[in-house]
Amino acid sequence: MVSRVIPVNPFDLVLFGATGDLAQRKILPGLYHRFEVGQMPEDACIIGSARSDMDSDAFRDQIRASMAEFAPEFKKDVLDRFLDRVSYVSVDASGDAGWSDLAKALRPDVVRAFYLSVGPSLFSGIAHRLNEHGLATPDSRIVVEKPFGHDLASAKALNEGLRACFKEHQIYRIDHYLGKETVQNLMALRFANSLFEPLWNSTHIDHVQITVAETVSVEGRGSYYDQSGAMRDMVQNHLVQLLCLTAMEPPSKFAPNAVRDEKVKVIEALDPVEPKDIARGQYRAEHGQGGYVDHVGNPASRTESFIALKVHLGNWRWAGVPFYLRTGKRLRARESEIAVFFRDPPHTIFPNVGPLHGNVLVIRLQPDEGIILRTTIKDPGPGGFRLSDVALDMSFADALGVEASAPDAYERLVMDVIRGDQTLFMRGDEAEAAWAWVDPIIQGWEDRGDRPARYDQGSSGPEEALMLMHRDGRRWRQIGG
């Protein structure tokens, strides 16, 4: 299936932190892809910016090298035309140098977006300087990367800093999980089909498992990660967002505030989590490979590289339905999914087959985005009546053609910024509500001096995470299974 590409309006995109890892690995290759498929108009301009002193040609050479490494399938003639749209201005985001040069590079009558792919300590300062130097127009957009705060107080301060210069409708807080095709498909599945919604409640759903498993370690981000841990780095944003989309009430329309209103209600309905419902882990050193504490260079670290939680929502739809969340590093496989477990059939009519198991709907985010429904069928062939469990598998790449699975989350999100569509971005109150839920959990384990349990690299996490499930008579889906 060929996707329909609607070009966006002409724009100037200023990319702060343009020489950094995220910009070079994701954002610029993503923009190239949108250019290649014709979504980015020929007269769009991308202005890269960082402190490094270089001219536009040197910056274009840097992009060529990054494309060769991260998007080697690019077409040379298209890349040349794309790079004609790219320039570079050196700006010190925390000083006064370069801002007037940046002002000269901007056009008055096109959409203007500022993408802050820099450390969060620079966010408020850049917003302030954009305003001070007259670069921020009433229609400009500002995009901020994660992490959005370290706790509730810092998230509030960040919101205040941004809102002093930009209105909420101009602020785009990125959570790139929301740009994934399958995550949006979760909304389509729930709200564009009549099949699931009547079953989507505590009468029919037994529990939900949300897993974001990584095989990588802290990847050069050790000092940042050791201050954050899995709870701040992954749960507060990505896993809570996935939980919101799974659990939210149908919005009245697919519009930014209608969707985000419903997500905030989910976060506000989250019950406090008891210590017995949390399992934290740290991967250990083994077979000559360093462990977590070696990778972050902090032998005394109590930061978790793995966390599993059992979470309840205090509302009518989900009363009594646990949501089990888990995420960690150095696990058995790289895998992200939401698995909705339906209740077992109440009675078995088939002889000699034992109890039947409920259906499981798996929304797979990575790898190989798609949706799977585990169902029980009769084993084909003659002979006795035997049942087996099969997966009705809809891989998007297979079902919709390769193109459907190709666009990276960042590509879609940057185009949404240009279009002025905030549906897939976190609102300020949403970020604060998530921190308000997370803060007491972290405070609790800090007050008690809890230490994370150790787990083997390449495993599914610590024993405590398995026990969290076993205690309830349930099992995690196997990571990489």
Q: Which residue is nearest to ligand NAP (CB)?
A: 20
**Applying CB under 6 A, does 118 fall inside the site for ligand NAP?**
yes
Using the CB atoms, write b or e for 122-146: b if 16+ within 10 Å.
bbbebbebbeeeebbeeebbbbbbb
Residue 150 bears catalytic tag: no
Single out the residue of 62, 66, 117, 237 in contact with ligand NAP (rule: CB under 6 A). Answer: 117
Nearer to ligand NAP by C-beta: 60 or 312?
60
Single out the residue of 34, 85, 146, 260 in contact with ligand NAP (rule: CB under 6 A). Answer: 146
Stretch that binds ligand NAP, among 46-54, 67-75, 234-242, 425-433 (CB under 6 A): 46-54
Query: Is residue 156 a known part of a binding site?
Result: no
**Applying CB under 6 A, does 62 fall inside the site for ligand NAP?**
no
Nearer to ligand NAP by C-beta: 202 or 366?
366
Stretch that binds ligand NAP, among 143-151, 313-321, 389-397, 457-465 (CB under 6 A): 143-151
Query: Is residue 167 a known part of a binding site?
Result: no
Q: Which tokens hold the place of 117?
A: 């792919």
**Applying CB under 6 A, does 96 fall inside the site for ligand NAP?**
no
Give the C-alpha distances (Å, rounded to integers) separating 352 from 135, 356, 374, 384, 385.
Answer: 74, 11, 21, 10, 9
Least Å distance, CB 176 to ligand NAP, is 7
Least Å distance, CB 416 to ligand NAP, is 17
Least Å distance, CB 52 to ligand NAP, is 3
Nearer to ligand NAP by C-beta: 135 or 362?
135
Query: Is residue 233 a known part of a binding site?
Result: yes
Nearer to ligand NAP by C-beta: 15 or 311?
15
**Applying CB under 6 A, does 30 fall inside the site for ligand NAP?**
no
Residue carrying structure tokens 């040379």: 76
**Applying CB under 6 A, does 22 fall inside the site for ligand NAP?**
yes
CB 111 within 8 A of CB 9: yes
**Applying CB under 6 A, does 93 fall inside the site for ligand NAP?**
yes
Query: Is residue 214 a known part of a binding site?
Result: yes
Q: Single out the catalytic residue among 33, 238, 295, 312.
A: 238
Stretch that binds ligand NAP, among 44-52, 69-77, 104-112, 344-352 (CB under 6 A): 44-52
Query: Is residue 180 a known part of a binding site?
Result: yes
Query: Is residue 51 a known part of a binding site?
Result: yes
**Applying CB under 6 A, does 20 fall inside the site for ligand NAP?**
yes
Nearer to ligand NAP by C-beta: 65 or 377?
65
Question: Which residue ranges make up the annotated binding site for substrate?
Answer: 176, 180, 214, 233, 329
Interface ranges with ligand NAP (CB under 6 A): 16-23, 50-52, 91-94, 117-120, 122, 145-147
Q: Binding site residues for NADP(+), as ranges?
A: 51, 146
Give the residue numbers annotated as catalytic, written as ranges. Answer: 238
